[in-house]
Chain A
């Protein structure tokens, strides 16, 4: 990277950070509003399994010192969060941030891993189709990818587990990773592959990359380069490959995070998706808010990455 491109990147970075803060604020407000509107009481999880009365319910809030008005609740949450205190889970009493970082890391591995799997399959197919058009090689591959992206992911997961159990004598659950030495990696790899194949984005990624690449191939400067016999790859790399790939990564993260909720349950993967699922049912609002913030931050990280790449390739863009 040239020195001249550092400054625009810093510019973009600071701007993006500002936007991110505003966005996280918006996310937290929206999630809080939905939670506030939904039936059920976050504290009722504490009263489950006992004869609860109106007084008992009021007593819980009193005992825990929960503010009554919704804006007071939101503000106190916000102020605490700004100090780095995400609160504690109502259900387990554990500090939200610590728990989230622990399971968030697992989800990060699952998400990034499956994104890589998707790209590893989609990029070559898209590249090949863009350069060579539809032929005997690219057509079946594309069809295969389309079929894969139309699979219901949990069903696909069940099938994979069934096949591994009955054909290979392996039981591929995430928790096995710690206990079985030789095939340990496999236990972790399978859910990643299942989500990578079955997250439903493969066809979209291929189509997007293929179209972007073909478009770039048609640009005048590439045609000129081609006519001169220069490597098209070198010329089209930035615009036809780097930018679209980062763009699609950034835009697919929220989607794959959703798929993780399912895969984590099927494969017993200790991640954020499972936690989100439980917390949504319990209305465990510090946990849900924490997850929303963390997930949104993760998504923003993707788009930050995209902006940086874009600017690094095309420094003028920072001035826009």
Chain B
């Protein structure tokens, strides 16, 4: 399982596209149906429903099994899904969704397929917001005030206040009212979470003894039957072995290739390496509670001292983008005018001198008896060669400017307690993953300092605080963009993090799988269009 820190969402798409509806039944696009796609996952999913699950592996499965009211297409535009159209009130506070009438839930064995109606939408919202349901979604939908059923195929959401890009938030997956055993709230003990039914292109058929998850094509899928007959998610406990399984045709696809294995797959004509941008970035974060690190010049010196391009080239085959500020570069909020600090150890040294530090007898810079000597805390992952490389290289770069870094690897839960609860660290290495784009308020707003909150570095700057609040309250997209670009410039200068890079993710798959398009976050959003030529379907 890949350990990531997740930030809640804001949205990208602003254009709405209405596409003609396909009839249920075959897609009639001339592409052949059939075949089985085995894909390898590192780790096993805990749950398979869209509400309790909080892992990427589960998210990918739910993408195959469920639909939202709206979806997002390959161009990142919002498209109709379970809702065929919608209306927004002038004040932006009510959204009325008109639902498709031709959608049925996957049928359980021996039961008739039930139709999808407005009741299911209301049920999903209510179960999601129930205090006893534990779900990462809850905080993201607190902007909704009420939901009401106008008729069987019409629902109306009323918002507490108008928010920007609210529509895209209605992409949450709808679950059936007759699904969960407990109609009030959903826990992981509910049989539904292991054996869910949805409206999506694939039906969860069974989970084998090894928790291989078998999904079969939904013949009645409202966008037309998906081409590939069967998806099988195979769990692996060792990434080296997983890559070999691909090379040996034991699986057809790996959703996220270890950077180390990219050259090997690249050299093999049987496979396609498909890049997809993740809205994420890696950083070194500095604990502002340490008076030495509270000095901006020291933090800037560190960033000047680090050769990010060299690391990116050496450890990730150059597959990524160096960033200058707190937003993922794919996002609209990213300020391209702010340049990343260049690699300049001399500048770093002079910044440290300006800050009053002089080399001590042991070569470590010091001021008034205080040495620039820090503990860098890093969580242990079983397969974390890349992490090890980055932190060891960081230690080495800082050594060159007379700064001593002691790398301390810690078990994941211990690390989380040290960083988020005790704030017992000088520097951390971590990554943020944004599920959509650009909400950084929880990272840098001073109200987010505290136990288990995301501003664990303790960064506090009134100017940043007010810009964050202003950005949240602004409904005009352009104005908001200007605010965020300003925020970007300030944080780049203040340098509470050494912003590193956004890595390009790669999926690898056998050439027999065709027409593959990948959603950067949910991955399988367009899998119903994938197909295999008849000769490859065995």
Give the distance to chain A from B230, nearest Cβ to Cβ, in Å.
Answer: 13
The CA of A90 and the CA of B240, in the complex, are separated in Å by: 29
Decide: A57 and B452 in contact? CB cutoff 8 A.
yes
Query: Which residues from B are CB-within-8-Å of A94?
Result: 194
Decide: A40 and B417 in contact? CB cutoff 8 A.
yes
Query: Which residues from A are CB-within-8-Å of B47?
Result: 92-93
A71 sits at the interface (CB 8 A): no
The CA of A175 and the CA of B242, in the complex, are separated in Å by: 12
A181 sits at the interface (CB 8 A): no
The CA of A110 and the CA of B396, in the complex, are separated in Å by: 44
Give the distance to chain B from A264, nearest Cβ to Cβ, in Å.
Answer: 7
The CA of A88 and the CA of B194, in the complex, are separated in Å by: 13
The CA of A208 and the CA of B311, in the complex, are separated in Å by: 52
B13 sits at the interface (CB 8 A): no
CB within 8 A of A266: which of B7, B238, B453? Answer: B238
Q: What 1/0 flags go to B290-329 for Cβ under 8 Å of A?
A: 0000000000000000000000000000000000000000
A51 sits at the interface (CB 8 A): yes
Query: Which residues from A are CB-within-8-Å of B46?
Result: 45, 91-93
Binds A, one of B24-32, B159-167, B169-177, B204-212: B204-212
Decide: A51 and B413 in contact? CB cutoff 8 A.
no
Decide: A175 and B190 in contact? CB cutoff 8 A.
no
Query: Which residues from A are CB-within-8-Å of B134?
Result: 46-47, 59-60, 63-64
Decide: A49 and B54 in contact? CB cutoff 8 A.
yes
Chain A, range 43-85, C-beta contacts under 8 Å to B: 44-54, 56-57, 59-60, 63-64
Query: Which residues from A are CB-within-8-Å of B413?
Result: 38-41, 44, 281, 283
Interface contacts (Cβ under 8 Å), in number, total: 126
Query: Which residues from B are CB-within-8-Å of A106?
Result: 209
Decide: A51 and B241 in contact? CB cutoff 8 A.
no
Decide: A39 and B131 in contact? CB cutoff 8 A.
no
The CA of A175 and the CA of B232, in the complex, are separated in Å by: 13
Chain A, range 266-298, C-beta contacts under 8 Å to B: 266-268, 270, 274, 278, 281, 283
A171 sits at the interface (CB 8 A): yes
The CA of A50 and the CA of B240, in the complex, are separated in Å by: 30
Chain B, range 250-299, C-beta contacts under 8 Å to A: 250
Q: Which residue of B lies closest to A105 (CB)?
A: B209
Decide: B416 and A175 in contact? CB cutoff 8 A.
no
Give the distance to chain B from A276, nearest Cβ to Cβ, in Å.
Answer: 12
The CA of A306 and the CA of B526, in the complex, are separated in Å by: 59
Q: Which residue of B lies closest to A175 (CB)?
A: B210
Query: Which residues from A are CB-within-8-Å of B8?
Result: 50-51
Query: Which residues from A are CB-within-8-Å of B235?
Result: 268
Give the distance to chain A from B71, nearest Cβ to Cβ, in Å.
Answer: 21
A311 sits at the interface (CB 8 A): no
A173 sits at the interface (CB 8 A): yes
Query: Which residues from A are CB-within-8-Å of B377?
Result: none
Give the distance to chain A from B451, nearest Cβ to Cβ, in Å.
Answer: 5
Q: Which residue of B lies closest to A63 (CB)?
A: B132
Q: Which residue of A lies closest to B236 (CB)?
A: A268
A216 sits at the interface (CB 8 A): no
Decide: A173 and B245 in contact? CB cutoff 8 A.
yes
Query: Which residues from A are CB-within-8-Å of B241?
Result: 161, 173, 266-268
Chain A, range 191-214, C-beta contacts under 8 Å to B: none
Chain A, range 153-180, C-beta contacts under 8 Å to B: 158, 161, 165, 171, 173-176, 178
Q: A90-B188, A173-B250 are in contact. Are A40 and B414 (CB under 8 A)?
A: yes
Give the distance to chain B from A186, nearest Cβ to Cβ, in Å.
Answer: 14
Chain B, range 491-515, C-beta contacts under 8 Å to A: none
Q: A40-B416, A175-B210, A283-B413 are in contact. Are A91 and B188 (CB under 8 A)?
A: yes
Chain B, range 205-244, C-beta contacts under 8 Å to A: 208-212, 234-238, 240-241, 244
The CA of A167 and the CA of B128, in the complex, are separated in Å by: 54
Q: Which residue of B lies closest to A170 (CB)?
A: B248
The CA of A60 and the CA of B134, in the complex, are separated in Å by: 7
Q: What 1/0 flags go to B106-138 for Cβ under 8 Å of A?
A: 000000000000000000000000011111100
Decide: A51 and B139 in contact? CB cutoff 8 A.
yes
The CA of A214 and the CA of B134, in the complex, are separated in Å by: 64
CB within 8 A of A171: which of B131, B234, B244? Answer: B244
Query: Which residues from B are CB-within-8-Å of A92?
Result: 46-47, 188, 194
Decide: B194 and A93 in contact? CB cutoff 8 A.
yes
Decide: B244 and A165 in contact? CB cutoff 8 A.
yes
The CA of A281 and the CA of B382, in the complex, are separated in Å by: 11
The CA of A158 and the CA of B239, in the complex, are separated in Å by: 12
Query: Which residues from A are CB-within-8-Å of B55?
Result: 48-49
Q: Which residue of A lies closest to B420 (CB)?
A: A52
B187 sits at the interface (CB 8 A): yes
A265 sits at the interface (CB 8 A): yes
Q: A93-B47, A281-B412 are in contact. Are A171 and B245 (CB under 8 A)?
A: yes
A102 sits at the interface (CB 8 A): yes
B525 sits at the interface (CB 8 A): no
The CA of A231 and the CA of B416, in the complex, are separated in Å by: 67
Query: Which residues from B are CB-within-8-Å of A54?
Result: 450-452
Decide: B237 and A265 in contact? CB cutoff 8 A.
yes
B4 sits at the interface (CB 8 A): yes
Decide: B211 and A270 in contact? CB cutoff 8 A.
yes
Decide: A93 and B187 in contact? CB cutoff 8 A.
yes
Decide: B190 and A264 in contact? CB cutoff 8 A.
no
B193 sits at the interface (CB 8 A): yes
Query: Which residues from B are CB-within-8-Å of A47?
Result: 54, 134, 136
Decide: A158 and B54 in contact? CB cutoff 8 A.
no
Q: Which residue of B lies closest to A41 (CB)?
A: B413
CB within 8 A of A102: which of B52, B209, B244? Answer: B209
Q: Which residue of B lies closest to A59 (CB)?
A: B131
Q: Which residue of A lies closest to B381 (CB)?
A: A281
List 17 additional A-B contacts (Cβ < 8 Å) besides A60-B134, A178-B208.
A38-B414, A39-B411, A50-B54, A51-B7, A51-B8, A51-B442, A53-B450, A63-B133, A92-B46, A93-B47, A93-B188, A93-B194, A161-B241, A171-B245, A173-B241, A176-B250, A267-B241
10 nearest interchain CB pairs?
A40-B413, A93-B188, A50-B136, A270-B210, A49-B54, A265-B237, A171-B248, A93-B189, A49-B6, A39-B414
Q: Give 5 pairs: A residue, B residue, CB < 8 Å, sorted on A.
A: A40-B416, A49-B136, A63-B132, A63-B133, A174-B210
Residues of chain B touching chain A, judged by Cβ–Cβ distance below 8 Å, are 4, 6-8, 43-44, 46-47, 52, 54-55, 131-136, 139, 187-190, 193-194, 208-212, 234-238, 240-241, 244-245, 248, 250, 411-414, 416-418, 442, 450-454
Residues of chain A touching chain B, judged by Cβ–Cβ distance below 8 Å, are 38-41, 44-54, 56-57, 59-60, 63-64, 88-94, 102, 106, 158, 161, 165, 171, 173-176, 178, 264-268, 270, 274, 278, 281, 283
